[in-house]
Amino acid sequence: MWNEEKDQNRWKMKFILPEHNEALRQLHLAKHKIERPTLSPEQIEEFEFTIATAMSEDLALNFELFDNGFVREITGKVGYVDHLRKEFRVKDERGDTNFIRFADILNVKTI
């Protein structure tokens, strides 16, 4: 009996073609994707207040962003608000400038 189990387990996942591996990875990613949430006007107003306060007091913020079905976080200080492009320019702790679109913001918190 032990030899039969060993023979069955031998071929289970030993050989996966790269195409199959990529398909499994895509399937795993698709399972974890979320739909873009709709924010209420009160939430947007609260975000605006938090951002304005942080800019006036030179505080860092933690942004949760919608990024193609996933939630991404950026932490840094808002350096500039571009009303024409509808985006923020946020300088993170490494000194990199991140461009954050207004529409992608899911949540904003001060640190």
Residue 69 belongs to a domain with what CATH number?
A: 2.30.30.520
In degrees and rounded to multiples of 5, residue 100 shows phi and psi of -115, 120
Cα–Cα nearest to 93, from 62, 52, 57, 55: 62
Q: Tell me: pLDDT of 92 over 70.
A: yes
Range of the domain at 12: 2-32
pLDDT in tens, 44-90: 999 999 999 999 999 999 999 999 899 999 999 999 999 999 999 99
CB 54 within 8 A of CB 109: no
Q: Which residue has the tokens 């398909």?
A: 23
Instruction: Tell which residue, 68, 64, 63, has the closest CA to residue 78.
Output: 63
More confident residue, 90 or 31: 90
Determine contact, residues 87/102, Cβ cutoff 8 Å: yes
Q: Could you give the CA distance from residue 59 to residue 26 in angstroms, rounded to a whole number?
A: 38
pLDDT tens-digit readout, 11-24: 555 666 788 778 87
One domain, residues 27 and 81: no
Q: Total structural domains in the chain?
A: 2
Same domain, 77 and 26: no
What φ, ψ does residue 82 adopt, rounded to 5°?
-100, 100
